[in-house]
Structure 1
Amino acid sequence: MSRRKSREIKRRRRIIGYSGLLIVLIIIGAYFYQQKSSEPSSASVSASESKKQEAEKPNKYKAASHGKRSEDPPVNIVNSQDIDRYLKSIHFNGSAMIVKNGKVVIEKGYGLSNREKGIKNNSNTVYYIGSITKSFISTALMQLQEKGKVNVHDPLAKYLPNFPHAHQLTLFDLLTHTSGIREIDESQDKLTREQLMQKIGKNAQTLMFPPGTRWAYSDSNYSILGYIVEKVSGESLHDYIKQHIFKPAGMNHSGFGTHFNKEPYPSTGYKIKNGSMYTPDIPDFSQLFGCGDIYTTAPDLYKFDHALASGKLVSQESYQQIFTPFKATYGFGWYVDPGSVSSHGVLPGWNGLNSYGKNGKVYVVLLSNIQNNIKSFGIVNNTIYTKLANDPSL
């Protein structure tokens, strides 16, 4: 074999060897590439896991659906054009919350919350509710009675031994406005609780009538009861109501006094005099203690009603006591009619009515920031009840 031929054979063998090696390397490389591509990258694992973790997190907006700010936006619900037209026709200026058989019939604002700035009322506008506050005080008293800390038939002397006629008066007399204690002139002076009790006591040196014999509405009765709530609970009245009534009822747009101005949608109160609209002065809230210092929204007040009627706030026995009228169809902080219960409140610039049917099927809440443009909220309330009863679609 020639040398040239031998070199040619060796060269071919080397080429074949290299080719074989190259093929093996290609096969091995392809194998590892396939394995690698079949696994998710660390970035995709992280993204996938992140999505899974995000899905498992509670939705902060849902969890805070009763939150105090943007999580609870105003709504505009009208499921009765008839009632909506009626409220417009009487120039209702405020917010309405009307519910029948668990269905929202009306939840919206009407007119302006601030006339100077042209700001409209909405479902979450807050209003001072005046004497509707008393229904919260009576609820607090009944809760404390259930805990054995107080009894509505206790003499006032047990809690305020130095108060005039304290041995004659009972908490029942105060709750039912049959104490004979006169109202004080509520001024713009800021008073401590003790100073307020002294002012009321000075005015109660002589009673209008023997306790329990007649009915005479007096804010002073409920200021005294609010003071007793503080004494027996060991909490301030406002803290007690926040924790034991607002919180379990889900009332997140409700509060006291000047905190009103920190709410997202405060209203300005107006009163009509000689055909002109103006903003009246209001007493210092320290003198409205227990009888008129709460603010709230129409939906929040509905939540209170529903919580009270459903047994979330007091027992059935307590509920019956609250709504058993004694004189003048008045129970504990509520007026009791044959088919419904209601509470009415006025503060200079604001006016409201809170009502629901005894069967728990109908709720009507009307809160207004014009004190006196509607002659009778009672008539408005009755008209709405009639319209609800006559509409078969509701």
Structure 2
Amino acid sequence: MTTKKLKRLTIILTILLIAITFLIIYKHYQRYNQEYNATKTYEETSKDHKKIGELKTVVDANNHDIEEVNRYLEQVKFNGTAAVFENGQLKLNKGYGMKNFKEDEKNRADTLYLIGSSQKFTTGLMLKQLVNEKKLNMNDPVTKYLPWFKTTQPITLNQLMQHKSGLYKYSASPQYKSLDEAVHAIQEKGIEPKYYNKNRYNDANYLVLSRVIEEATSKSYVKNFENRLANPYNLNFTAFFNDTDYQNNMAIGYKKDKTSSNPVKQTPNILDQYYGAGNLFMAPYDMGQLILSLQKNEIFDDKITQPLLHESLTSQYPEPYRYGFYSLPDKNRINGGFFGQVFTAYFNNKYIIVLGTNYENSQTNNEKKIKHIYYDILKQGGPYNIVGQKY
């Protein structure tokens, strides 16, 4: 090799090395910038977040059914907080068992639980708001809002909302440090062809929708949540996982050890990527209040609210599942579970029941408990929602 060629090769390698170094530095800067902006957003929104001190324990001693609910939860050693509204009035709001086993701290009426996929309900409400404001169209392809989200088949916002996108099941990783990184990972993995346009529940769908909300509004998911739901509807006992003001109110999640049957603490390490699909903490009371606001047409007018709650198997709502919750013949249902915590709500035009647990310590899980309360104690379950015809 001549001296001239060697010199040229050295220059090329040097330029290549500089380019690689620049790319690495840029990637690190990009990640730092995302984390910084996220932190800044939490600081800004926490200043706006209302706090009212504490929620008092409520058990309506004049209501036989409510006393029976309380006795049942004590009998099955329920570990969590229950809130029950009857005809819009709070009848039960009480903590049971332990919030923190190590520190011997008990659950209270104002304990906050990681609500997991129940957060999709709040994401769904914000989507519906944006549709009404004509900032979103659910028939639009995702690429209208996220041009880089290219897939082998077109995916609409409706397909995401109904869990029909066909996207590969989301595999969370501590490597992803933001919602944006998670959504890029989802796009790179793409569509699993056999599930395209077929029902398959997938967190990926609502993570992408949450990123769409950010793009459509030019605001973070957190800021949207604060402005659209938390502040207007007085969700004073609701907070994102890293809100330092609420850390003392947040329950620790546990799972039962298969050998010793002792509670084992769960340590979430992926919540920073789960905006819109699983990183929100709520007191059951707050979820009840949000549902009540929806039922009372305070979030949408009657023409939007009633079909949203009651209609299914129609052109507008072809499935029981819509916007993060279920419209079933005898009730509406919200449910989520994450890192040992489970958060479930059943409601109709008379009752709203919300159970948040941080430790399922028996064979009677959260769903079985709320079913027993709804059907056997409160004697609900008759015709409620409309199936197969427009409301």
- TM bracket (short chain): 0.7 to 0.9
* Secondary structure class of the residue paired with 1:258: coil
Q: Which runs of 5+ in 1 are unaligned?
A: 1-65
Deviation digits for residues 114-152 of structure 1 (CA, Å, limit 9, x no counterpart): 111111111001111000000001100110111111011
Distance in 2 between residues matched to 1:108 and 1:226, nearest whole Å: 32
Match of 1:389 in 2: 379
Distance in 2 between residues matched to 1:205 and 1:336, nearest whole Å: 28
2:335 to 330, 338, 344: 344
* Secondary structure class of the residue paired with 1:215: coil
Match of 1:216 in 2: 200
Match of 2:45 in 1: none
Distance in 2 between residues matched to 1:261 and 1:90, nearest whole Å: 32
Structure (1 or 2) with the larger CA radius of gyration: 1
Distance in 1 between residues matched to 2:178 and 2:102, nearest whole Å: 34
Distance in 2 between residues matched to 1:149 and 1:219, nearest whole Å: 23
Flag the 1:262–1:382 CA change in 2: closer, same or farther, 3 A.
closer
Match of 1:301 in 2: 287
| Matches for 1:3-22 after TM superposition, within 5 Å | none
Distance in 2 between residues matched to 1:293 and 1:231, nearest whole Å: 20
Residues 156 and 166, structure 1, Cα contact 8 Å, conserved in 2: no
Deviation digits for residues 8-27 of structure 1 (CA, Å, limit 9, x no counterpart): xxxxxxxxxxxxxxxxxxxx
1:266 to 217, 230, 250: 250
1:314 to 297, 300, 304: 300
Residues 357 and 366, structure 2, Cα contact 8 Å, conserved in 1: no
Q: Aligned partner of 1:247: which letter?
A: N
1:283 to 243, 251, 269: 269
CA apart distance, 1:174: 0.6
CA apart distance, 1:355: 2.0
* Secondary structure class of the residue paired with 1:164: coil
Flag the 1:162–1:372 CA change in 2: closer, same or farther, 3 A.
farther
Flag the 1:168–1:372 CA change in 2: closer, same or farther, 3 A.
farther
Q: Which runs of 5+ in 2 are unaligned?
A: 1-48, 381-391
* Secondary structure class of the residue paired with 2:215: helix
* Secondary structure class of the residue paired with 1:139: helix
Flag the 1:91–1:260 CA change in 2: closer, same or farther, 3 A.
farther
Deviant stretches of 4+, over 6 Å: none
Match of 1:19 in 2: none
CA apart distance, 1:307: 1.0
| Matches for 1:47-58 after TM superposition, within 5 Å | none
Q: Aligned partner of 2:253: which letter?
A: G
Match of 2:8 in 1: none
Match of 2:213 in 1: 229
* Secondary structure class of the residue paired with 2:378: helix
CA apart distance, 1:237: 0.7
Match of 2:369 in 1: 380
Identical pairs, percent: 24
Match of 2:51 in 1: 68
| Larger CA deviation: 92-101 vs 363-372 | 363-372
| Larger CA deviation: 312-321 vs 250-259 | 312-321
1:239 to 208, 211, 223: 223
Query: 1:105 and 2:88 equivalent?
Result: no
Flag the 1:280–1:107 CA change in 2: closer, same or farther, 3 A.
same
Count of residues paired in the alignment? 320
Deviation digits for residues 277-312 of structure 1 (CA, Å, limit 9, x no counterpart): 101232321221211011110111111111111111
CA apart distance, 1:176: 0.9
Q: What RMSD over aligned residues (CA atoms) do the two structures have, in Å?
A: 2.2
Match of 2:122 in 1: 136
Distance in 2 between residues matched to 1:372 and 1:333, nearest whole Å: 27
2:178 to 192, 198, 210: 192
1:335 to 300, 318, 326: 326
Flag the 1:328–1:318 CA change in 2: closer, same or farther, 3 A.
closer
Residues 333 and 344, structure 2, Cα contact 8 Å, conserved in 1: yes
Distance in 2 between residues matched to 1:166 and 1:154, nearest whole Å: 16
Flag the 1:77–1:203 CA change in 2: closer, same or farther, 3 A.
same
Distance in 2 between residues matched to 1:67 and 1:231, nearest whole Å: 26
Distance in 1 between residues matched to 2:152 and 2:180, nearest whole Å: 16
Residues 186 and 283, structure 1, Cα contact 8 Å, conserved in 2: no
Flag the 1:191–1:151 CA change in 2: closer, same or farther, 3 A.
same
* Secondary structure class of the residue paired with 1:389: coil
Distance in 2 between residues matched to 1:257 and 1:169, nearest whole Å: 30
Q: Aligned partner of 1:348: which letter?
A: F
Deviation digits for residues 7-46 of structure 1 (CA, Å, limit 9, x no counterpart): xxxxxxxxxxxxxxxxxxxxxxxxxxxxxxxxxxxxxxxx
Query: 1:92 and 2:78 equivalent?
Result: yes
Normalised by the length of structure 2, the TM-score is 0.76
